[in-house]
Amino acid sequence: MTSPLQQKIKITGPSIVTANRTIDGAVIYRTAANGWSTSLSDAAIVRTAEEARALLTESVADDIGAVGAYIAPVEIKDSGKIKPGNLREHIRLQGVTIDLPVSA
Amino acid sequence: MPLVKQGRIATDSFVHVGDGAELPGDGAVLVSAARFLEDPQALLQRAGKLGVIWPNNRDVDDLVPWLDRLAAVALVFPTFRDGRAYSQARLLRERHGYDGELRATGQVLRDQFVFMLRAGFNAFEVKKESDAEAFAATIQRYSVFYQPTGDGRVTALHRRMQQRHSESAGQ
Amino acid sequence: MYAYDELDRTLINERVEEFRDQVKRRLSGELTEDEFKMLRLQNGVYLQLHAYMFRVAIPYGTLSSKQLRRLAHVARRYDRGYGHFTTRQNIQFNWIKLAELPDALADLAEVGIHAMQTSGNNTRNVTSDQWAGVAPGEIEDPRIWSELIRQYTTLHPEFSFLPRKFKFAITASAHDRAAIKVHDIGLRLHKNAEGETGFEVLVGGGLGRTPFIGKTIKPYVAGRDLLSYVEAILRVYNQYGRRDNIYKARIKILVHELGIEKFASEVEEEWLAMRDSALTLDQAVVEDVRSRFSYPAYEKLPHMPEELKKAAHDPFFERWRKNSVFTHKVQGYAIVTLSLKPVGGPPGDATADQMDAVADLADKYSFGEIRVGHEQNLALPHVAKRDLPALWKALDKIGLATPNINLVSDIIACPGLDYCSLANARSIPIAQELTRRFANHDTAELIGRLHINISGCINACGHHHVGHIGILGVEKNDEEFYQITIGGRADENAEVGKLIGPAVPYGEVADVVEDIVEAYLALRARPDELFVDTVKRLGVEPFRERVYATR
């Protein structure tokens, strides 16, 4: 199993590091303050492969807090708002695209 | 890397000797399969016990002719996910009747101890100190075993048969 | 239903305690994720897109009402109030928290449910025919042998770290409802000339990146030799299966690379060295397991009860009865399939409330027993025909009486990109749209038996390769595209479907399926020529033409 750090890092635009919280699996984003947030707006933005690698390295080091960290693309709107950069990240942020079965 | 034998951390009487290195005059040594097979007679004639480290991607058949003269066989778990050595261990014990030291080396974690014991290992080069210390407690984790191996434990199926037998005998 | 005894329960509890300790060591940092991952997988715990996913075993698809209620409890207490039944007769919960998993497992252990080996590179759920024990013409109940294999493979010290996952399936009927030809080991129970029970053993079937239909390695293995023969196969696989490439690590690749003759002779050599060992199943042991399976005390009932005659005037009841009710081996009884494929709903899901309601109905009408099928529907296996009208009313109230079993809207789909981190594309919304397009029951009946299978990625958990129509999600330029195949089958005539043309985008999939169905209706030789037989007769070309004429 290749460590994410050994994989080639390609950055095609603004990117973030995301993972799942170990204790409950919640989607989390790496912040600029060496921490994690469930809010995409708190995510640290990287724009080069070196920055991405550095952010990923420090994220992966937090093995207790987070699982499966990787680099994901984002879109930055003119307003500065950060949005998910692909369908997969959209689903991770917003949840499933279907209605969950609900008990009557 | 602590060695566990007979349920506790023990001093290792064997020394791992690399392929190019000189062998000590006497004392127990563990050598690679390649080195052993180059000149098995010479190694077996030296004073001191001999153990062979057998790779997990090679048939144990090639080692079988020498088994009754070896003091130890070490098998390898290059990652804990690679389970080939479990088959090798069972074949050595159950098919070929090997009863010397059978040592687990490589990535040996606490969570594999029960499997390893059941497969026939009786010595363990354990990766983590804390796991070695927990050995005795860990092997108590399970009291029920479904399938027979060479470890002699009665399987659940047969325990039931015994229970039934004694129930009906008692009637 | 198999009754767990103290030994079985003890093992499950010991496993729960071990996992509780492993979770503790993970959360304290004593175990890294790399070390823990394999351990959690052995307890069915995956990391998915939004959360952990927890896969619970339902051995050979048989549940008691008590067990189903406990699954409902887990859904409520630890998850978001629903569960998903899978193509291997298991159930999945999608939102479970790691820290709470040991408690969830302990709650399940109380009723004899576990999650051992529902994931990881070990031997998985031994699936079977969901009509086992009640199907007319069945030779004997295959679940007895499934249970023998289940016990034999559970926490097997030699085979817990195989090159890759390993799946068994058993059938004991001429019509294979267990898809044995696409399993790593498929077993066809039958009797030899002396009337002794044995198995045709097939190996190397499987779907995924490289689909293969299983090949017969031995036409008859006596029941007493089943476990030793399986051990020989597993030992050869454990030692020689590829470990360098995860995509080439299944036994199907080893069988393909060696050839079936060479593989068979390797297994035979190994087997001859150990066949008369402690693994030999003597008759007493088999009978002991058989004795733990309880069967209902069926009443002597008429073939056509009054209640059924009276209800026949109700067209809605009749439609459901003709679609979802199947012949039972005992006169006066029926096997009832509960559709988990409501129009517009995600296929295979059930809410906690529905699970509780089905448990109650099972107690009332099915001797407390429920079955889970690999087509992601449930079944009540022991329903007295006189109870069918009352049962139907109750099922209809809770949304489990859609009369679409085996029809075009009875879709099998994996969770797909909505849930799964392996997926390229979504599958559930595709299934939902298709059920809406084909919501009209008259149309669906006109079309006849048609199995649509949808997988969100090449891992093929939706079994798209063996769908009459198979839909596979692929990624193209960051967008969701789908390859369509037709003519696949999962039964005794198993076949891999053929591609009809280039992948189509998400928005067009439902249109394409409609075109394919239209082509079939125009081309079929008779109304009762099944879709899959029309494809066999005419090949892919006429369908390709129709679909791609305007694309």
Domain ranges of chain B: 3-140, 143-171
**Mutation target vs C (from A64, A86, A94, A99; most C CBs, 10 A cutoff):** A64
What is the reported pLDDT for B169? 64
| Shortest CA distance from A98: residue in chain C | C429
> pLDDT tens digit string along B90-129?
999 999 999 999 999 999 999 999 999 999 999 999 999 9
Domain's final residue, options C373, C397, C421: C397
Verify whether the Cβ–Cβ distance C47 to A20 is below 8 Å: yes
Verify whether the Cβ–Cβ distance A91 to C417 is below 8 Å: yes
A33–chain C Cβ distance below 8 A for any pair: no
What is the reported pLDDT for C530? 97
DSSP-derived 3-state class of residue C438: coil
Angstrom distances, CA of residue B39 to CA of B35, B42, B101, C407, C523: 7, 6, 22, 70, 75
Q: Name the residue among A87, A70, A76, A81 with its Cα closest to residue A10.
A: A70
Chains with ≥3 CB–CB distances under 8 Å to C:
A, B
Is the domain of C368 the same as that of C489?
Answer: no
* Annotated domain spans of chain A: 15-94
Q: Name the residue among C90, C100, C94 with its Cα closest to residue C82.
A: C94
List all residues of chain B from 4 to 43 with a beta carbon under 8 Å from chain C. none
Is the domain of C391 the same as that of C416?
Answer: no
| Shortest CA distance from C154: residue in chain B | B146
DSSP-assigned states of every residue in C513-551? HHHHHHHHHHH-SSTTS-HHHHHHHH-SHHHHHHHHTT-
pTM for the predicted model, two decimal places: 0.95
Cβ neighbour number for residue B82 with a 10 Å cutoff: 20
Instruction: Work out the average pLDDT over C276-301.
Output: 92
Is the domain of C418 the same as that of C392?
Answer: no
> pLDDT tens digit string along C142-180?
999 999 999 999 999 999 999 999 999 999 999 999 999
- At the second CATH level, the architecture of B3-140 is Alpha-Beta Barrel (3.20)
> Which stretches of chain C sit within 8 Å of chain A by CB?
26-29, 32-34, 47-52, 80-82, 95-99, 345-346, 349-354, 417-419, 421, 426, 428-429, 432, 478, 480
> pLDDT tens digit string along C91-120?
999 999 999 999 999 999 999 999 999 999
Q: Which two tokens stand for residue C226?
A: 């089943």
d(CA B45, CA C292) in angstroms, rounded, equals 59
> pLDDT tens digit string along C56-89?
999 999 999 999 999 999 999 999 999 999 999 9
Range of the domain at C353: 306-397
The yes-or-no verdict on residue A104 having pLDDT over 70 is: no
Q: First and final CA of chain A: distance in angstroms?
A: 44
What is the reported pLDDT for A4? 62
What is the reported pLDDT for C401? 98
* Residue C297, burial from CB neighbour count under 10 angstroms (0-12, 13-18, 19+): exposed
The yes-or-no verdict on residue A1 having pLDDT over 50 is: no
What is the reported pLDDT for A3? 62
Verify whether the Cβ–Cβ distance C239 to B114 is below 8 Å: no
Mutual angle of helices C6-27 and B156-169, in 10-degree steps: 150
Q: Which residues pair with C471 in a beta bridge?
A: C454, C484
Domain's final residue, options C332, C366, C397: C397
Q: Answer whether C138's CB lies under 8 Å from C173's CB.
A: yes
Band the pLDDT of C477: cuts 50, 70, 90. confident
The yes-or-no verdict on residue B19 having pLDDT over 90 is: yes
DSSP-derived 3-state class of residue A28: strand
Band the pLDDT of B158: cuts 50, 70, 90. confident
Report the amino acid identity of residue A87. L
As for how many domains chain C has, the answer is 4
d(CA C454, CA C347) in angstroms, rounded, equals 10
Contact list in B for residue C278 (CB cut-off 8 A) is: 148, 155
Measured CA angle at C319 (ends C314, C325), to 5 deg = 115
Contact list in C for residue A59 (CB cut-off 8 A) is: none
Is the domain of C157 the same as that of C266?
Answer: yes
Q: Which two tokens stand for residue B57?
A: 């991607």
> pLDDT tens digit string along A12-32?
899 999 999 999 999 999 999
Verify whether the Cβ–Cβ distance C80 to A100 is below 8 Å: yes
Maximal CA-CA distance, chain C: 68
Is the domain of C322 the same as that of C393?
Answer: yes
What is the reported pLDDT for B154? 87
Q: Answer whether C272's CB lies under 8 Å from C231's CB.
A: no
CA distance C231 to chain B (A): 11
Bin C458: left if φ > 0, else alpha if -120 < ψ < 50, else beta. alpha
d(CA C295, CA C2) in angstroms, rounded, equals 9
Is the domain of C34 the same as that of C102?
Answer: yes
Q: Answer whether A9's CB lies under 8 Å from A18's CB.
A: no
> pLDDT tens digit string along C383-422?
999 999 999 999 999 999 999 999 999 999 999 999 999 9
d(CA C130, CA C337) in angstroms, rounded, equals 10
Is residue C296 in some structural domain? no
Q: Answer whether C219's CB lies under 8 Å from C188's CB.
A: no
Residue C38: CATH number of its domain? 3.90.480.20
Angstrom distances, CA of residue C395 to CA of C355, C359, C368: 11, 12, 16
A97–chain C Cβ distance below 8 A for any pair: yes
What is the reported pLDDT for A9? 84
